[in-house]
Structure 1
Amino acid sequence: MNEQQRKKIEELSLIVEQESYIDSNLYANYDVKRGLRNSNGTGVLAGLSKVGEVHGYYVEDGDVMPDHGKLYYRGKNVYDIVDGFQKDKRFGFEEVCYLLLFGKLPTALELNEFSDLLGELRELEDGFVRGMILKAPSTDIMNKLARSVLAKYSYDDNPDDTSTANVIRQSIELIAQFPSIMAYGYQAKSHYHNNESLFLHKPKRELSTAENILTMMRHDSDYSRVEAEILDLSLVLHAEHGGGNNSSFVTRVVTSSGSDTYSAIAAAIGSLKGPKHGGANMKVLAMMNDIKRNVKKWDNKEEIKRYLTKIINKEAFDGSGLIYGMGHAIYTLSDPRAVLLKQKAIELAKEKDKMLELNLYLAIEELTPQVFTEVKGIDKHIAANVDLYSGFVYEILNIPPDIYTPLFATARIPGWCAHRIEELLTGHRIIRPAYKSVVTKHKYRPLSER
């Protein structure tokens, strides 16, 4: 596009902004649930689900009352799930995938058979890596994931069948193959856009999902048991978060139209890419790097408070006034995912001699509510969310920032698929909310009279 064309586009964009503007007061006038939120901040009930439940508050006489966060997968508390597989000293993501898809915890035999099935299905179809991933490398891995998922439609002999058996088959294949798509997409980007060597390691049937990711992402395929365990925990904690989160809701919206599995999951990936959703961990990383550059003494809480004050006052970092990784739409007193990931992060930080850096994160978690109250004059409960510690964990694991959000997507595939199946079996109606038109009516004028 040349300079003259750019100027024309800028002129047209001003017209669009003017004509698209809607007075925010109209939302209250018409009692519109903006963002599908009630006036007290709670979500509008749009459906029923057995897949996941997120608890962060309770409502008393119409007021939202803070409470410690709880996360349930198929009615099972995530704290109990994590405690169960960690006590057994085994990986938990495969068990969670089974639980989300089939609604019950597997027996030892069922878990072994399911894990073996995932292992058998991990390799991508002949020609997929060369034709789909290497020939069209993307600078953004999330876009590559969405494009690759859509391309799998062409490799499926029965892509449009929405019967339970067929969708379960598609779901299991996506769970098994997504780590390979992510790893190869990253390697292609590194090679063709960053001029690095190209490494394509095949997945190994006998390894867990977390182990396979580390095997395929690292040039030497080497990793420690603790590294694999903390990545596995991260996958478990990102696997599901209720039907109301943006990407799961998108999955159900697309599903309700009768569309195919690949279209629904690709749409969910597009939703997750946004910085207000799955891309938030990248914002945390950028913010932390900014804090590290500007706070000279990481163990000086007063210096940290001064810089957090500047961020909240929109005088530092990106000017948004946000402390990324702090606060959540539902969780008030605590985010169980952050609590569990922080415990493992401390273990990893000790192993990697990174406690000074972790203490900076812990200080930000402690000080942010205080600073917010002092600056805003509002006593608000602000707890750390999972993004605060996931970025730290990935950085210590030497995982490139390019795949922070793709890892989130890899973990969330079973949750999305479970919501898709539930919508197919119980929804039976296309999701179609209403929008109130507030445009002034005008008569059409012929072109010659304009």
Structure 2
Amino acid sequence: MDFAELSKLTEKYQSNFDKAGTIDKALYSKYDVKRGLRDSDGRGVLTGLTEISDVSGFRIDGNERIPIPGELFYQGYDIKELVKGFHGNKHGFEETIFLLLFGELPTQKQLDEFMELLGILRPLPENFNRDIIMKQPSRNIMNVLQRCVLTLYSYDDNPDDISVEHVLAQSLSLIARFPVIAAYGYQSYRHRFLDSSLIIHRPKPQLSTAENILRLLRSDPTFTDLEAQVLDICLVIHAEHGGGNNSSFTTHVISTTGTDTYSTVAGSLGSLKGPRHGGANLKVQQMMADLKENVKDLENDKEIRQYLTKILNKQAFDRAGLIYGMGHAIYTLSDPRAEILKEYARRLSEAEGYIKEFELYDRVERIAKELIKKYRDVQKPVCANVDFFSGFVYSVLKIPVELFTPIFAISRIAGWSAHRIEELVNNGKIIRPAYKYVGTHREYKPIEDRG
């Protein structure tokens, strides 16, 4: 039975949700419910402590929230200083993984040993690609990642061991294998659904994560140093963003149950897959494509302003009233990740002949800030977030849109792993917030008395 038939069979039950399941919104205010675990001003409710990263976009002075330039620290190190310190090499992400997991930056000897370890761990189990990935390809590569992660449980001699030593080994194995799973999942998708030739390259142990991603995705497995450097920086700035973002919080929630690493990471992937979390850069790409179709002169500020105003008035694009890639839950004056990526986007676009496209993004960013300030009742300044530029960068790198969110996962599993280990080390209680019942109590009726 396919899902079209199933929908017909269940259609008669759908009307039940017209009268049941919808809660009066006034009740949320009455009971002071922190919807989305946020206060009324949008700040997250404090639910945990972490030493892994620090994210800030404002400071508190009494009862006043004062916007500041955005800051992001990994284990106490400013993300901008880290990126600057990598000097454009192609293994900044490996240094970042080491830092997030172990709390310190590696020495050269430690980095060499760590990269060698990741190279050893990267290949998939024998026949895994053939039996697990290629036999059941999916149109959504995030689902491929989830399925493969859960299947790898069966390849672990002691999968339910949640000692820190074993969880670290499991985490490093998944970190190393994510790029291979995503790339092979995409190649299988192309072969099955797009009738393209099946191209499978083996990862090279001496290459960095960024280099291997580019190698595995291209029919000609070559790339420039700049391409690898830019992708490496993308992985660095997406690797971690505090314990309160949805997928990292999911990691904490599931970890507190005492379940295994594979189940935990599969849950985190499910969170990241959502368009309101990891899929935001796809929306930016779609919005920009729609803009190009509807604006005649892409260098004309007036025409772009008119189009963006229509978006805000729910008259253009998806009619949601949102300029995607603008605004953030924490950042106000700036998103440091977006600032870093914008500079690398400029360099890449100049080298690859996309400077006009970059200038369009720059123009939209500037005008969008003006319009949101003018037409929206916002409590804080609005800045471009990292999603605004990441999709553009991936496109210039010839990374297909189907892999935009999986690339995010390849990076963010470093942060998830650090948070899982931190949760286990601190042996916290199972996370169990409260829900208030607002329905009615009724008397049971025997089935013969139900009209």
Tell me which interval the TM-score lies in, with the shorter structure as reference length.
over 0.9
Aligned partner letter, 1:339:
E
Residues 341-385 of structure 1 show CA distances to partners (whole Å, capped at 9, x for unaligned) of 000000011111211111111111111121123333657411000
Alignment CA distance shift 1:3-1:216 (3 Å): closer
Q: What amino acid does structure 2 have at the position aligned with 1:45?
A: L
Gap regions ≥5 residues in structure 2: none
Question: Paired residue for 2:248?
Answer: 248
**Structure 2: how far apart are the matches of 1:223 and 1:313?**
43
Asked if 1 retains the 8 angstrom alpha-carbon contact of 2:373 and 2:381, the reply is no
Contact 1:298 1:356 in 2 (8 A): no
Q: Distance in 2 between matches of 1:117 and 1:176?
A: 9
Aligned-partner Cα distance in 1 for 2:379–2:432: 38
1:110-259 equivalences in 2 (<5 Å): 110-259=110-259
Deviation at 1:310, TM superposition (A): 0.4
Contact 1:40 1:63 in 2 (8 A): no
- CA separation in 2, counterparts of 1:64 and 1:39? 13
Within 5 Å, give how 1:393-404 maps onto structure 2.
393-404=393-404
**Aligned mates of 2:341, 2:12 — CA distance in 1:** 48
The structure-2 alpha-carbon separation of the partners of 1:4 and 1:357, relative to structure 1 and needing over 3 Å to count, comes to closer
* 1:66-77 superposed matches below 5 A: 66-77=67-78
Question: Could you tell me which residue of structure 1 aligns to residue 92 of structure 2?
Answer: 92
Counterpart amino acid of residue 434 in structure 1: A
Residue 20 of structure 1 aligns to a residue in which SS?
coil
Contact 2:327 2:383 in 1 (8 A): yes
Q: CA 1:445/1:395 → structure 2, altered by over 3 Å: closer, same or farther?
A: same
Residues 90 and 211 in structure 2, CA contact (< 8 A), matched pair in contact too: no
Q: 1:137 to 1:120 in 2, by over 3 A?
A: same
Amino acid at match of 1:446: P
Aligned length: 449
Amino acid at match of 2:307: Y
Q: What TM-score does the superposition give when structure 1 sets the normalisation length?
A: 0.97
Q: Please state how far the C-alpha of 1:449 moved relative to its aligned partner.
A: 1.3
Structure 1 residue identity aligned to 2:357: E
Equivalent residue of 2:106, what SS? coil
Asked whether the 8 Å contact 2:118–2:172 carries over to 1, the reply is yes
> How many angstroms apart in 1 are the aligned matches of 2:108 and 2:374?
53
* Contact kept in structure 1, 2:295 and 2:307, CA below 8 Å: yes
Determine the structure 1 residue equivalent to 2:391.
Answer: 391
| RMSD between superposed Cα atoms in Å | 1.4
User: Aligned letter for 2:112?
Assistant: N
Q: Which residue of 1 aligns with 2:59?
A: 58
Q: 1:353 maps to which residue?
A: 353
Deviation per CA, 1:156-202: give whole Å up to 9, x if none. 11111011110110111111111000000000000011110001100
Instruction: Give the Cα–Cα distance (whole angstroms) in 2 for the partners of residues 275 and 404 of structure 1.
Output: 12
Matched residues in 1 for 2:116 and 2:446: separation?
68
What's the counterpart of residue 267 of structure 1? 267
Give the Cα separation in 1 of the matches to 2:178 and 2:185: 10
**Is the Cα–Cα contact under 8 Å of residues 56 and 331 in structure 1 kept in the other structure?**
yes
Cα deviation digits, residues 107-158 of structure 1 (max 9, x gap): 1111110011111111111121111101110110001101100110011111
% of aligned pairs identical? 51
Q: Return the alpha-carbon distance in structure 1 between the equivalents of residues 255 and 283 of structure 2.
A: 30
Greater Cα shift, 377-386 or 51-60: 377-386
Distance 2:224 2:25 in 1: 53
* Structure 2 residue identity aligned to 1:271: S
Q: Aligned partners of 1:2 and 1:35: how far apart in 2?
A: 31
Amino acid at match of 1:419: H
Name 1:107's counterpart in structure 2: 107
The AA in structure 1 aligned to 2:248 is: S
CA distance, structure 1, for counterparts of residue 41 and residue 354 of structure 2 = 41
8 Å Cα contact 1:292/1:298 also seen in 2: yes
Alignment correspondent of 1:286: 286
Matches of 1:107 and 1:134 in 2, distance apart? 40
Provide the rounded CA distance (Å) in 1 between the counterparts of 2:111 and 2:255.
28
- Classify 1:352/1:3 alpha carbon distance in 2 versus 1 (closer, same or farther; 3 Å): closer
User: Does the 8 Å CA contact 2:67/2:380 hold for their aligned counterparts?
Assistant: no
CA distance in 1, matches of 2:439, 2:113: 58
Residue 441 of structure 2 aligns with an amino acid whose one-letter code is K
**Separation in 2, partners of 1:368, 1:417:** 36
Partner of 1:300: 300
Q: Deviations over 1:396-418 (max 9, x none)?
A: 11110000000000001110000
Separation (CA, whole Å) in 1 of partners of 2:178 and 2:377:
46
CA contact (8 A) 1:284 1:391 kept: yes
Residue in 2 aligned with 1:324?
Answer: 324
Deviation at 1:442, TM superposition (A): 1.2
1:26 — aligned with what? Answer: 27
TM-score, normalization by structure 2: 0.97
Q: Distance in 2 between matches of 1:170 and 1:83?
A: 31
Work out the CA distance in 2 between the residues paired with 1:118 and 1:277.
28
Give 3-state SS (helix, strand or coil) of 1:86's partner. coil
The verdict on how the C-alpha distance between 1:61 and 1:11 changes in structure 2, with shifts beyond 3 A counting, is farther
Instruction: Indicate the SS of the match to 2:86.
Output: helix
